[in-house]
């Protein structure tokens, strides 16, 4: 028996699970380990306390007193502390939940209140936990809360009946299976609603934003030695997808340039001026920013003559709290996502370019992740600019040098370094050769380490060059830049990321905070800034971790990326993009109703001639299914009897006409949508359903049968049902006698067959019209006869 | 009106006689949505929470709130679909009780058939609110007061005993037919009209109460609740002798046939009937000692002014007592006839006859002014009441005084108190 107690117990378990899940949804929201531990302890203890009836004797006044105290403490916290209001609120709800778990007396009201508190916690969780973990908790919560609420309802209804059990064990099983299916359906429906619900969030009071990662090394000033701190940070900042689906061999050497510095004061790098940034122009159709317009003429020629096609990569950038955008030298173009031109669109972004520092800034209204495409050229042949020098004799050359002169700044002193620079570059004659020789010198004679030895804090560069000879990328880059400046070559230090690690679970390259790197840009006359990396290869190898932990981390990061991209940052743009894709998929002519694609695209996506497209097939099947469904019991649904709608009688002929017009119109519209202005096909579309209707009539599909014909038809069906059991009507056996014989053979169906006989005889011989209900009853009798076991 | 099965599917509801529908009734029927939804207490909070989450999601654009909103809307959609699945295409019949007394529960039943291939759970069947057409609360509705859905702050109870009749069915398997008992409760006598029944469910989460109204009119006659009338019965007995008989005896009137017993006089055998039956039977005659009483109920105030409230209460009390007297007299095998200002019931005996008279009492109204001419009654089909019949007048003193007829016994309804 599915006892009431059992029902109550199961519901209780599910309710406790819901409470636990809702707690997990907020547990990461800065409540503190003390509160988290306290909740878990109380949650577990309340189960036992309630089971043993310890809390039942506590008077309600005491619980009310505890609630009031909690309210008072929460109020005091709000006024006296600077804690976030959400954290205080969540803690308050958790305390209420604990009190309710202890004080509940098993009444309907108490349990509803617990469910309501778990709902509130789940809602609060959305504000403080945007991680993929929330998604997992949510999925489980949907399952348990659906199951729990349904069992709770069953329990309360059964208690209301004052019954002690539900009658049949079978029903309990069926009910539970149905509940599992229901939970699944509710989850699927939640996801569907999530994707379909229009994202018209106006964000008047709380604009959509995400918490940015805490980045180091990307401020206006960078002190030497700070970089080593972040080397082990696995937090992903960029995720890069390649068109091939695998990581190209040169990808680990990608230098993701973010920010450059021009001035060094002996201890730290900084930017001497604010720079000169302006908005970059872009192609409004494709949102493409052509960066090649920023190249010098020579570089442009060098890229063009290389003959290589640019490689397009897709980069998903996490909100970093800084506005610099990544660049890889030399870059062809930048494509920002298509966004709806609305003033409140949080994803709206545009590029700015700093002409002094050559930095790119991505301007966004809100702190959200961004997906962009980059086209990158391979590095041009270095031999092209190996021998180029400043030509100060020409006016253009003089202007060029004057512009770049600030990048020769050196701090006072540092005589040993200047001397070393002169020594190393003694044989080199051009800026490129000087850069190459210093790069090689540093790589060969110095060791990479993140475990920095003690050096002179006031002169870390000379300490590195002459004393410790060990350091990380910033020391190498700073030393190279300063040595180049000492040798008369304009240079600067740039910060960014190097390479990345391949995430096989998500099939993308993850660039992590730990991949932060510093290198040097050298100004080559007429070609512009060219990157050099003096850090030995030990320091440029990404810290690729292996083992099960790393695999799990990869898996988690892949899940997180998808979660962020498809859930957290899903918006109106994504919806429109989805609709476009859907309309493209459904339309054989690849025309979308939202945006007409270009002719070239149409040409590209034109379906192959002659072949049947799957989408066409699906739609035709659906179309025919609808048509088939409109025939019910062998008759066209609308046309058997006059019908009364709101007191207006509609004759069958009018219904046939209306139905025919509707069908023909639908068919025609459909065809037009699929095939465009093709008149013969439109005729097929419109005429097809009409022809099918006509064929149905001609084939005598009982169309428009009068009620006595209907009765004969039903009797025929009964005869066929009897034949299934091997019973046939004798030639001299009348219908009444035949049914009487069936009644004897199938005693269980005696009543239903008796009713069938009375209705049949009345309709067939008594000029009595069969009502729809009577027809239904006769069909029921036929069905029941079919289901019967054949007599021995 | 005979009860008949019908489907409760949308648009297939029956109206007993569409021709008799008034324009207003017809408009109301046409405008009525096929299903009605009421919030349960928990449902109101659920809806408020959903609205709050929806507002939050729209304002902040927080997608996790949209996810939560999706879940809550899904629960609402699932509630709608599953409750519809529970109620769809069920066949409902009403077996109303044949005798209903005011203020006393009368056992009736509902028969529910599930012709589908899946089961229905947690079904609630109830009689819709009935309107009193004739009686002390004429024009008023009795039954469960529905709270309009927009008044979500008003708590609606679905467990109340204020329904005319309610029954619950926890489950109804596929193809199964079940009867469930329901107690009909009418607080006052009179003629009531119920527009039909309703099927409802709170399945699957208990947040909504989905209701399907089934049109199937039925008239209910509610007899007045009999009050003890020992004093009146004693007066009648004292005046007309203790016993009234209606049994086999030595009279001339034909009473019936019975088997001949061994030892009885063979001359009593009715040969014609014995030949037909194949065994000896005896013809019995009715005893002539039976007494007959004619109750003349003067349901008039005796004054020209409208009846004050206390008089109406006293009238109801008088009716209850009259019902009690009739019950008592029939139990004592009197032949009783009832004559009122509106009509007359010929003399008769037995429970069926009692019901006829109670039916008459159920639909009486209090007239203003003095009682005018009363319709004649008959003792039997043979002719008018004989002179030896005792004539008992019941009414207010003022009405009895003004009545032109004379009574063997006058029973005065006390109207001195307002309390009943």
Element (H, E) at A664: helix A652-675
Interatomic CA distance for residues B7 and B93, integer angstroms? 9
B 191-220: CB under 8 A from A:
202-206
String of DSSP letters for A219-273? SSEEETT-GGGGTT---EEEEEE-TTSS--TTGGG-EEEEEEE-EE-SSEEE-SS
Distance CA A114, CA A21 (A): 13
CA distance A282 to chain B (A): 28
pLDDT of residue B8: 38
**Which residues of chain B carry a pLDDT beneath 70?**
1-21, 29, 146-161, 241-255, 285-290, 373-388, 415-420
Give the 3-state DSSP-derived string for chain B, with helices as H, strands as E and coil as C. Answer: CCCCCEECCCCCCCCCCHHHCCHHHHHHHHHCCCCEEEECHHHHHHHHHHHHHHHHHHHHCCHHHHHHHHHHHHHHHHHHHHHHHHHCCCEEEEECCCCEECCCCEEEEEEEECCCCCCEEEEEEEECCEEEEECCCCCCEECCCCCCCCCCCCCCCCCCCCCCCEEEEEEECCCCEEEEEEEECCCCCEEEEEEEEEEEECCCCCCEEEEEEEEEEEEEEEECCCCCCHHHHHHHHHHHCCCCCCCEEEEEEEEEEEECCCCCCHHHECHHHHHHHCCCEEEEEECCCCCEEEEEEECECCCCCCCCHHHHHHHHHHHHHHHHHHHHHHHCCCEEEEEECCCEEEEECHHHHHHHHHHHHHCCCCECCCCCCCCCCEEECCEECCCCCEEEEEECHHHHHHCCCCCCEEEECCCCCCCC
- Put simply, the answer to whether B62 touches A208 (Cβ < 8 Å) is yes
Among left, alpha and beta (phi > 0; psi -120 to 50; other), residue B221 is beta
Most B CBs within 10 Å, among A1, A201, A637, A752, to test the B interface: A201
In the sheet that holds A268-270, the strands lie side by side as A221-223, A268-270, A263-264
User: Which chain B residues are within 8 Å of A122, Cβ to Cβ?
Assistant: 68
**Neighbouring-strand partners of residue B297:** B340, B394
| Cross-strand partners of A520 | A493, A532
The reply to whether residue A201 touches residue B60, judged by beta carbons under 8 angstroms, is yes
Cβ neighbours for A396, distance < 8 A, ≥ 6 positions apart: none
Nearest-neighbour CA in chain A from B123: distance (Å): 10
Indicate which of B52, B58, B73, B74 best probes the interface with A, i.e. most A CBs within 10 Å of its own CB. Answer: B74
- Residue of B68, B119, B204 lying closest to A123 (CB–CB): B68
Are the Cβ atoms of B63 and A568 closer than 8 angstroms?
yes
Closest CA to B312 of B189, B188, B415: B415
Sequence-separated (6 or more) residues with CB below 8 Å from residue A482: A264, A410, A414, A417, A421, A461
* Contact yes or no for A191 and B62 at CB 8 A: no
Closest B-chain CA to A182:
B78
Q: How far is A112 from chain B (nearest CA, A)?
A: 7
Determine whether the interchain pair A206/B6 forms a contact, defined as Cβ–Cβ distance below 8 Å: no
Q: Which of A545, A541, A543 is nearest to A553 (CA)?
A: A545
Judging contacts by C-beta atoms under 8 Å, the chain B residues touching residue A172 are none
Tracing tokens 């990569």 back to the chain, one arrives at A313
For residues B161 and B167, what is the distance between their CA atoms, to the nearest angstrom?
Answer: 11
- The series of mean pLDDT values per 10 residues for chain A, 792 residues long, is 73 94 86 88 91 80 88 89 85 92 84 92 88 90 92 84 52 75 91 86 52 62 63 80 86 89 88 82 83 84 82 86 84 76 66 87 76 87 85 82 86 89 90 93 89 80 88 90 93 90 86 88 90 82 69 85 83 80 64 43 44 59 65 49 57 70 74 67 70 58 52 84 85 86 91 91 76 84 89 74
The whole-angstrom distance between B42's CA and the closest CA on chain A is: 7
Q: How many residues does chain B have?
A: 420
Is residue B12 within 8 angstroms of chain A, CB to CB? yes
Contact A200 B70 (CB under 8 A): no
At residue A43's C-alpha, the angle toward residues A42 and A46, to 5°, is: 75
Residue among B12, B60, B121 whose CB faces A208 most closely:
B60
Separation between Cα atoms, residue A111 and residue A124, nearest integer Å: 20
The helix or strand, by DSSP H or E, that contains position A460, with its residue range, turns out to be helix A460-462
Strand partners, A277: A354
**B residues 89-128 closer than 8 Å to A (CB):** 115, 119, 121-122
d(CA B32, CA A452): 83
- The span from the CA of A771 to the CA of B261, in Å, is 57
- Whole-angstrom distance, CA of residue A212 vs CA of residue B40: 44
State whether A157 and B122 contact (CB < 8 Å): yes
d(CA A100, CA A50): 11
Q: Is the dihedral of CA A618, A623, A626, A629 positive or negative?
A: negative
Place of tokens 């009713």: A755
Inter-chain CB proximity B170 and A166 less than 8 Å: yes
Predicted model pTM: 0.69
Nearest CA in chain A to B13: A773
Q: How far is A167 from chain B (nearest CA, A)?
A: 9
In 3D space, the residue among A526, A521, A491, A522 whose CA is nearest the CA of residue A389 turns out to be A526
Instruction: Characterize the bridge pairing of strands A331-335 and A370-376.
Output: antiparallel
CA distance A299 to A306: 11
Asked if B58 is an interface residue toward chain A (Cβ–Cβ < 8 A), one would say: yes
Number of A–B residue contacts, CB under 8 Å? 154
| Smallest Cα distance from A107 to chain B, Å | 13
Residues 6+ apart with CB under 8 A from B338: B294, B295, B297, B326, B344, B345, B357, B360, B361, B377
Cα–Cα distances in Å, from B171 out to A161, A166, A354, A769, B158?
A: 12, 8, 74, 34, 18
A289: left (phi over 0), alpha (psi -120 to 50) or beta: beta
CA dist A170 → A6, A39, A167 (Å): 15, 39, 9
Among A193, A563, A758, A777, the strongest candidate for a mutation testing the B interface, having the largest count of B CBs within 10 A, is: A193
| B75 vs A contacts (CB less than 8 Å) | 146, 149, 186
Residues of B in contact with A782 (CB under 8 A): none
Chain B residues closer than 8 Å to A193 by CB: 69-70, 73-74
**What is the CB neighbour count within 10 angstroms for residue A383?**
8
Using CA atoms of B150, B153, B156, B162 in order, give the dihedral in degrees to the nearest 10: -90
H or E, element range at A578: helix A572-586
Contact list, A571 vs chain B (CB under 8 Å): 61, 63
Say what the pLDDT of residue A81 is.
84
Query: Strand B91-95 to strand B6-7: parallel, antiparallel, or no bridges (unpaired)?
Result: antiparallel
- Tokens representing residue B215 in the block: 């049109």
A191 to chain B: which residues are within 8 Å by CB? 67, 70
Which of A163, A185, A192 is opposite residue B78, by nearest beta carbon? Answer: A185
Inter-chain touch B64–A204, beta carbons under 8 Å: no
Question: Do the chains contact at A171 and B65, CB–CB below 8 Å?
Answer: no
How many of the other CB atoms lie within 10 Å of CB of A582? 12
- What would the pLDDT profile of B145-177 be if each residue is shown by its tens digit? 766 656 655 556 656 567 889 888 888 888 888
Put simply, the answer to whether A194 touches B75 (Cβ < 8 Å) is no
Q: How far is A277 from chain B (nearest CA, A)?
A: 31
Q: Which of A493, A557, A520, A556 is nearest to A238 (CA)?
A: A557
Predicted local confidence at residue A502, as pLDDT: 87
Distances (CA, A) of A17 to A3, A91, A118, A143: 22, 19, 10, 10
Cβ pair A123:B78 closer than 8 A: no
Q: CB count, 10 Å around CB of A654?
A: 14
Per the CB < 8 Å rule, is B60 touching A203?
yes
Question: Closest approach of chain A CAs to the CA of B75, in angstroms?
Answer: 6
Give the chain B residue whose CA is nearest to the CA of A112. B42
CB contact under 8 A, B170 and A197: no
Burial B38-55 (b: 16+ CB within 10 A, else e): bbbbbbbbbbebbebbbe
Closest to A145 measured CA to CA, from A122, A171, A173, A178: A122
Task: Give residues 258 to 287 of B whose Cβ lies within 8 Å of A.
Answer: none
Q: Return residues 291-310 of B near A (CB < 8 Å).
A: none
Is residue A441 within 8 A of residue A536, CB to CB? The reply is no
Residue A157 and residue B64: Cβ atoms within 8 Å?
Answer: no
- First-to-last alpha carbon distance for chain B, in angstroms, is 34
CA distances from A465 to A231, A265, A415, A445, A476 (A): 22, 17, 12, 9, 9
Q: Is B61 within 8 Å of A203 when comparing Cβ atoms? A: yes
Distance from CA of B238 to the nearest CA of A (A): 52
- Cα angle, residue A172 at apex, residues A169 and A177 outer, rounded to 5°: 130
Q: Which residues pair with B412 in a beta bridge?
A: B395
Say if CB A296 and CB A400 are below 8 A apart. Answer: no
Q: Which residues of B touch A161 (CB under 8 A)?
A: 168, 170
Name the phi and psi angles at A649, rounded to 5: -85, 125
Beta strand B335-340 with B292-298: parallel, antiparallel or unpaired?
parallel
Query: Which tokens in the block code for residue A700?
Result: 């005598």
Is the bond preceding residue B204 a cis peptide, omega within 30 degrees?
Answer: yes
Nearest Cα residue to A347 out of A306, A319, A311, A375: A319
Give A186→chain B minimum CA distance, Å.
5
B418 backbone dihedrals φ, ψ, rounded to 5°: -85, -25
DSSP 8-state class, residue A456: -
C-alpha to C-alpha distance for B229 and B209, rounded to whole angstroms: 46
């Amino acid at each position: 028996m599915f006892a009431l107690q059992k029902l109550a117990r199961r519901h209780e378990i599910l309710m406790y699970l819901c409470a636990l899940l809702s707690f997990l949804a907020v547990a990461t929201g800065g409540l503190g380990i003390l509160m988290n531990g306290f909740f878990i302890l109380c949650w577990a203890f309340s189960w036992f306390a309630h089971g043993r009836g310890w809390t039942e004797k506590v008077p309600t006044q005491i619980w009310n007193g505890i609630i009031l105290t909690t309210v008072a403490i929460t109020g005091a916290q709000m006024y006296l502390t600077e804690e976030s209001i959400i954290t205080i609120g969540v803690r308050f709800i958790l305390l209420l939940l604990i009190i309710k778990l202890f004080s509940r007396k098993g009444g309907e009201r108490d349990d509803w209140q617990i469910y309501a508190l778990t709902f509130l916690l789940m809602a609060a969780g959305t504000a403080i936990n945007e991680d993929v973990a929330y998604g997992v908790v949510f999925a489980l919560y949907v399952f348990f809360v659906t199951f729990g609420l349904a069992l709770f309802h069953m329990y309360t209804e059964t208690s209301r009946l004052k019954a002690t059990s539900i009658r049949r064990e079978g029903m309990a099983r069926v009910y539970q299976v149905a509940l599992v299916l229901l939970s699944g359906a509710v989850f699927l429906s939640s996801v569907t609603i999530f994707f379909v619900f229009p994202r018209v969030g106006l964000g008047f009071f709380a604009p959509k934003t995400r918490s940015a990662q805490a980045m180091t090394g990307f401020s206006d000033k960078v002190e030497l030695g700070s970089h080593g701190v972040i080397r082990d940070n696995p937090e992903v900042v960029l995720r890069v997808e390649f068109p091939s689906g695998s990581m190209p061999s040169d990808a680990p050497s990608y230098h993701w340039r973010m920010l450059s510095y021009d001035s060094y004061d002996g201890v730290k790098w900084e930017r001497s001026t604010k720079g000169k940034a302006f908005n970059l122009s872009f192609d409004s159709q494709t949102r493409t920013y052509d960066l090649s317009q920023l190249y010098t003429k020579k570089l442009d020629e060098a890229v063009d003559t290389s003959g290589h096609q640019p490689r397009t990569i897709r980069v998903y950038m996490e909100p970093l709290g800084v506005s610099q955008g990544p660049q890889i030298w030399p870059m062809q173009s930048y494509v920002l996502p298509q966004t709806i031109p609305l003033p409140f669109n949080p994803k709206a972004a545009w590029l700015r370019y700093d002409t002094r520092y050559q930095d790119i800034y991505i301007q966004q209204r809100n702190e959200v992740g961004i997906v962009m495409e980059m086209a990158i050229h391979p590095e041009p042949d270095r031999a092209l600019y190996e021998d180029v020098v400043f030509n100060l004799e020409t006016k253009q050359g003089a202007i060029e040098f004057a512009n770049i002169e600030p990048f020769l700044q050196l701090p006072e002193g540092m005589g040993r370094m200047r001397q070393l620079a002169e020594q190393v570059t003694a044989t080199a004659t051009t800026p490129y050769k000087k850069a190459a020789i210093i790069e090689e010198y540093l790589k060969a004679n110095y060791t990479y380490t993140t475990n920095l030895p003690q050096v002179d804090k006031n002169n870390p560069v000379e300490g590195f060059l002459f004393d410790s000879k060990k350091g990380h990328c910033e020391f190498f880059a700073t030393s190279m830049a300063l040595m180049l400046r000492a040798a008369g070559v304009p240079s600067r230090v740039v910060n960014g990321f190097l390479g990345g690690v391949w995430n096989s679970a998500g099939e993308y390259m993850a660039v992590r905070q730990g991949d932060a790197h510093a290198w040097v840009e050298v100004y080559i006359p007429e070609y512009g800034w060219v990157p050099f990396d003096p850090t030995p290869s030990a320091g440029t190898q990404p810290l690729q971790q292996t083992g099960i932990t790393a695999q799990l981390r990869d898996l988690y990061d892949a899940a997180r990326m998808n979660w962020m991209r498809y859930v957290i940052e899903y918006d109106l743009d994504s919806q429109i993009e989805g609709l476009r894709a859907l309309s493209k998929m459904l339309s054989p002519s690849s025309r979308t109703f939202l945006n007409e694609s270009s002719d070239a695209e149409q040409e590209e996506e034109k379906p192959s001639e002659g072949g049947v497209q799957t989408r066409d097939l699906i739609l035709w099947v659906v179309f025919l299914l609808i048509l088939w469904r409109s025939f019910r019991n062998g008759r066209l649904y609308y046309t058997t009897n006059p019908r009364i709608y709101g007191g207006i009688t509609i004759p069958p002929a009018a219904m046939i006409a209306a139905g025919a017009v509707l069908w023909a119109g639908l068919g025609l519209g459909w065809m037009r949508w699929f095939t465009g202005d093709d008149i013969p096909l439109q005729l097929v579309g419109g005429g097809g359903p009409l022809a099918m209707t006509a064929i149905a009539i001609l084939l005598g599909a009982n169309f428009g049968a009068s009620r006595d014909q209907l009765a004969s038809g039903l009797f025929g069906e009964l005869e066929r049902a009897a034949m299934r059991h091997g019973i046939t009507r004798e030639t001299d056996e009348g219908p009444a006698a035949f049914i009487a014989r069936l009644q004897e053979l199938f005693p269980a169906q005696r009543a239903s067959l008796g009713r069938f006989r009375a209705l049949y005889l009345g309709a067939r011989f008594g000029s009595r019209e069969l009502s729809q209900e009577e027809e239904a009853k006769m069909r029921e009798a036929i069905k029941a006869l079919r289901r019967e076991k054949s007599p021995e | 009106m005979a009860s008949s099965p019908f489907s409760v599917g949308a648009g297939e509801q029956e109206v007993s006689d569409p021709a008799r529908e008034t324009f207003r009734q017809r408009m109301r029927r046409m405008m009525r949505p096929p299903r009605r939804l009421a919030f349960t207490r928990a449902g109101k909070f659920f809806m408020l929470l959903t609205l709050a989450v929806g507002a939050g999601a729209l304002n902040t654009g927080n997608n996790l709130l949209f996810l939560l909103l999706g879940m809550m809307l899904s629960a609402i959609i699932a509630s709608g679909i599953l409750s519809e699945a529970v109620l769809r295409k069920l066949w409902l019949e009403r077996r109303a009780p044949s005798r209903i007394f005011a203020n006393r529960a009368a056992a009736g039943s509902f028969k529910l058939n599930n012709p589908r291939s899946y089961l229905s759970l947690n079904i609630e069947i109830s009689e819709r609110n009935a309107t009193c057409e004739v009686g002390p609360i004429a024009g008023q509705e009795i039954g469960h007061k529905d709270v309009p859905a927009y008044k979500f702050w008003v708590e609606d109870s679905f467990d109340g005993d204020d329904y005319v009749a309610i029954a619950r069915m926890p489950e109804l398997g596929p193809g199964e037919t079940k009867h469930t008992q329901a107690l009909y409760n009418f607080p006052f006598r009179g003629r009531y009209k119920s527009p039909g029944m309703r099927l409802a469910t709170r399945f699957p989460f208990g947040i909504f109460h989905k209701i399907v109204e089934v049109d199937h009119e039925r008239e209910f006659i509610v007899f007045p609740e009999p009050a003890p009338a020992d004093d009146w019965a004693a007066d009648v007995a004292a005046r007309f002798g203790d016993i009234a008989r209606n049994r086999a005896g030595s009279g001339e009137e034909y009473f019936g046939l019975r088997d001949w017993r061994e030892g009885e006089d063979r001359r009593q055998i009715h040969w014609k009937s014995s030949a037909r039956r194949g065994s000896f039977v005896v013809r019995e005659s009715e005893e002539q000692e039976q007494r007959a009483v004619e109750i003349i109920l003067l349901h008039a105030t005796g004054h020209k002014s409208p009846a004050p409230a206390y008089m109406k209460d006293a009238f109801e009390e008088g009716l209850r007592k009259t019902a009690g007297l009739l019950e008592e007299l029939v139990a004592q095998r009197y032949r009783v006839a009832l004559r009122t200002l509106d009509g007359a019931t010929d003399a008769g005996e037995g429970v069926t006859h009692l019901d006829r008279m109670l039916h008459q009492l159920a639909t009486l109204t209090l007239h203003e002014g003095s009682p005018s001419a009363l319709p004649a009654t008959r003792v039997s089909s043979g002719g008018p009441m004989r002179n030896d019949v005792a004539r008992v007048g019941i009414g207010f003193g003022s009405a009895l005084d003004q009545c032109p007829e004379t009574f063997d016994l006058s029973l005065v309804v006390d109207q001195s108190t307002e309390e009943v």
